[in-house]
Amino acid sequence: GAVVSQHPSRVICKSGTSVKIECRSLDFQATTMFWYRQFPKKSLMLMATSNEGSKATYEQGVEKDKFLINHASLTLSTLTVTSAHPEDSSFYICSARSPGGQETQYFGPGTRLLVL
């Protein structure tokens, strides 16, 4: 149980285009999902908390207009990198919080974004 998927696993795009990454909880409903960014050889940096049916909460320093988050259902959150630039190239990982108060986050496999 507690499987989280991400799509796509890898994407290459041209500078200036927008890229959408999907995060799905496959076998449980997640009212809260989290989006992280991981730089090479670095730890995970929390970008934002995504709450179903409401606006996402962004961490300090994260541009909300650049990283659009939508949590339209209890099993799906999307992250759209708008007008992507090479510096946005990174490994993006989502997680979904388990229900029932155990406060465990289950992570997706990650999406490797390369902006040329």
Binding site for another protein (CB under 8 A): 4, 6, 32, 34, 42-44, 46, 49, 57, 91, 93, 95, 97, 102-110, 112
Is the CA virtual torsion 43, 39, 79, 57 positive or negative?
A: positive
Minimum Å gap between C-beta 86 and another protein is 20
Nearer to another protein, 6 or 25 (CB): 6
Helix (H, G, I), strand (E, B) or coil at 90: strand
- Pick between residue 22 and residue 82 the one whose CB is nearest to another protein: 22
H helix and E strand count, the chain:
0, 11
